[in-house]
Chains A and B, each alone.
Chain A
Amino acid sequence: MDSDLIVQILFAAVKTGTPLLFIALGEVICEKSGVLNLGQEGMMLMGAVVGFLAAYGTGSAGLGVLAAMIMGCVMSLIFAVLVLHLGANQVATGLALTIFGTGLSAFIGSGVVGQTIQGFQPIAIPLLSDIPFIGKILFSHDILVYSSFAMTFALMFVVNKTRIGLTLKAVGENPHAANAIGIKVLRVRYLAVMFGGVMAGISGAYMSLVYTPMWVENMTAGRGWIALALVVFASWRVGRIMLGAYLFGLASIMHLVLQGLGWSISPNLLAMLPYVATVAVMVIISADKFKEKLLAPRALGKPFDPRQMA
């Protein structure tokens, strides 16, 4: 393997990891507030189709992303009303949202199947993209990839260093205690779920506007589910999600690259790697010593009713 090829592979890993990064960032915020949204795949597909429709109609990929964000947000609001307001089961509602989004996206997108658009073009960042090795891998992408970098660092700061981050974690760890000190638990959760929806929308738009600039049914092909695994893999840490997204991206292209080089490793075995890694992390973080430090938000998946005392 020469160095050019390695650069190409890592470049592709960043690209493949970017939709996972977006959607997993949204999901981790949602889960940190104590809400498990399994509707990622459905929100992502709706984002993809609406983003494509808007970009196709207006000719502007930027408007496409905006429309996808709004759509993702609307989808997440449906979820939020059902689970937060009406107290529906989070797992069942999330699954329903995925099925709903898959079907509805296929329906509203049927008219533009087979159309193509001009997606975002890559922009090499001056100076930075000239750095050997790193420049090509990180700084010769399109604007959405750069936004994902910015978003990761912004979230790391917000979650770890600000009052907003503390509030979010308080709500996810112990909503009753948070409620007792005057935090509006449901409002925080609403906002977190909506943020998750917006990010899922961008992730979908990345698929239909950048990754493969077209709309075809079910084009996200399970990436929403991989993102859920990724959140666990990253043990709910924002920084690790970025690392994990690129690792997952790398793992998902590695078997293709190795086959081209003539290595006779079973592609199935390699395609399995991200999931094996997730299971391994689950096992490690479930070991008692780390449990307190690393495990999921304690109130994850549990409904909160402000009228009811803990």
Chain B
Amino acid sequence: MKLKSLLVSLGLLAGASIAQAEEPLKVGFVYVGPVGDLGWSYEHDMGRKGLEEYFGDKVKTTYVENVPEGADAERVITQLAKAGNDLIFTTSFGFMNPTVKVAKRFPKVKFEHATGYKLDKNLGTYVLRTYEGRYISGVTAGMMTKTNTIGYIGSFPIPEVIRDINAAYMGAKSVNPDVKMKIVWANTWYDPGKETDAANALMDQGVDVMLQHTDSPAPLIAAEKRGLRAIGQASDQSKFAPNAHIFSVRDNWAPYYIKEVQAVMDGTWKSQDFWGGFHDDMLTLASINPNLPKDVRAKIDATLAAIKSGEFKPFTGPIKDNKGNVAVPANHSLTDQELAQVNWYVEGITDEIPH
């Protein structure tokens, strides 16, 4: 009897492990925009494709695009969990609460939420240090502007965007003490028409170099039409505006996705708050315009090298906020946790953060 049950369970185990070896790991992705946005969601999808290329038959990926941030997201994430995905990446800030909720209901499924800060046993977060790219963009814009006015098209006033606005301003200020920055909030991640309007509104008011925190190449096209300059967001957007384009700060997700999937396969996955930037090759400067002045190019390379090596961290004190309070004390660099909660503008930005 005992022997028999032992044999049976051994058989089951063997069967189970064979099944496991044959069964690919199922990985789900939730995107906020269309995969064709050529910005944020496009790059996540490139990461997904990189994952498939690397693992071949060992993974099976599914994605859902154009998912609105809110109640719909919860439904989509639940469906992906129910469909047997072992690991689910939700790739926009607004998916945070839905992901937290669904993660509680599916304790065996692993979740990773991009750009958020809420963790759980089976829920990790991963964040790009986009502020590093934004600092270099600021330095470049500060050197390139002739009107001493640079523009920033914001999406929503969340910590990630506010942090990047600060980084861009500090970068610009470091090379051009007279620089001013105009900020407009488009209240969208992705609406080429609205982004064009925002870009034109900025350029009408004397802005000659633009940074954007929205995902379509529309602001670059608008800048190209007027013979002004702009910096691309999230993916290589140079072909939209060969003259206007200074460089794009490109997101590169594949290395991270491969690492996490490998961890799940090895059984070593654990919930963590991961931050990656130039150092991890998760950010790159793509298609730097060959016609930049030599000193600008040299400064870009030097700043990039300093950030990449870890020798320079943009959020190192002393930094004051624009109300005169000490935001970062001297000799302190903001920790990742502190970076996630930046809700102040640095000294010199005259606007107020909308509520």
A45 to chain B, nearest CB (A): 12
Q: Does A141 contact B (CB under 8 A)?
A: no
User: Is B192 a contact partner of A212 (Cβ separation < 8 A)?
Assistant: yes
- Chain A, 59-83, CB within 8 A of any chain B CB: none
For A110, list chain B residues within 8 Å (CB). 36
User: Is A219 a contact partner of B192 (Cβ separation < 8 A)?
Assistant: yes
Query: Given A106-B36, A116-B240, A214-B240, do A259 and B185 touch, yes or no (CB 8 Å)?
Result: yes
Q: Produce 1/0 per residue, B111-131, CB < 8 A to A.
A: 000000000000000000000
- Which of A5, A253, A271 touches B187 (beta carbons < 8 Å)? A271
User: Is B194 a contact partner of A212 (Cβ separation < 8 A)?
Assistant: no
A222 to chain B, nearest CB (A): 8
Q: Does A173 contact B (CB under 8 A)?
A: no
User: Is A223 a contact partner of B193 (Cβ separation < 8 A)?
Assistant: yes
- Which of A211, A218, A259 touches B196 (beta carbons < 8 Å)? A211
User: Is B184 a contact partner of A256 (Cβ separation < 8 A)?
Assistant: yes
User: Is A216 a contact partner of B204 (Cβ separation < 8 A)?
Assistant: no
- Which of B182, B186, B187, B216 touches A216 (beta carbons < 8 Å)? B216
A9 to chain B, nearest CB (A): 7
For B38, list chain A residues within 8 Å (CB). 113-114, 216
For A214, list chain B residues within 8 Å (CB). 192, 217-218, 221, 240
Q: Produce 1/0 per residue, A212-237, CB < 8 A to B.
A: 11101111110100000000000000
Q: Give the distance in Å from the alpha carbon of A256 to the alpha carbon of B194 in the complex.
A: 9
B160 to chain A, nearest CB (A): 18
- Which of A106, A116, A217, A256 touches B198 (beta carbons < 8 Å)? A256
User: Is A259 a contact partner of B36 (Cβ separation < 8 A)?
Assistant: no
Q: Give the distance in Å from the alpha carbon of A271 to the alpha carbon of B187 in the complex.
A: 9
For A220, list chain B residues within 8 Å (CB). 193
Q: Give the distance in Å from the alpha carbon of A271 to the alpha carbon of B188 in the complex.
A: 11
For B321, list chain A residues within 8 Å (CB). none
Q: Give the distance in Å from the alpha carbon of A259 to the alpha carbon of B194 in the complex.
A: 14
For B34, list chain A residues within 8 Å (CB). 106, 216-218
Q: Does A58 contact B (CB under 8 A)?
A: no
Interface size on A, residues (CB 8 A): 36
- Chain A, 239-268, CB within 8 A of any chain B CB: 252-253, 256-257, 259-262, 264, 266-268
B252 to chain A, nearest CB (A): 18
Query: Given A212-B196, A220-B193, do A116 and B183 touch, yes or no (CB 8 Å)?
Result: no
Q: Does B9 contact A (CB under 8 A)?
A: no
- Which of A212, A223, A259 touches B221 (beta carbons < 8 Å)? A212
Known: A211-B192, A214-B221. 17 other contacts (CB 8 A): A207-B193, A212-B193, A212-B222, A214-B240, A217-B34, A218-B34, A221-B193, A223-B193, A256-B202, A257-B205, A259-B185, A260-B182, A260-B183, A260-B205, A262-B182, A264-B351, A268-B187
- 9 A-B pairs with the lowest CB-CB distances in the bound complex, closest first: A217-B34, A256-B201, A113-B36, A8-B204, A221-B191, A212-B192, A259-B184, A257-B201, A260-B205
Q: Which residues of B contact A (CB under 8 A)?
A: 34, 36-38, 66, 151, 182-188, 191-194, 196-198, 200-202, 204-205, 207, 216-218, 221-222, 239-240, 350-352, 354-355
* Between-chain CB contacts (< 8 Å), 19 pairs: A12-B200, A12-B201, A12-B204, A106-B34, A106-B36, A109-B36, A113-B36, A113-B38, A114-B240, A212-B218, A212-B221, A216-B37, A221-B188, A221-B192, A256-B202, A259-B183, A260-B182, A260-B207, A267-B185
Q: Which residues of A contact B (CB under 8 A)?
A: 5, 8-9, 12, 16, 106, 109-110, 113-114, 116, 207, 211-214, 216-221, 223, 252-253, 256-257, 259-262, 264, 266-268, 271
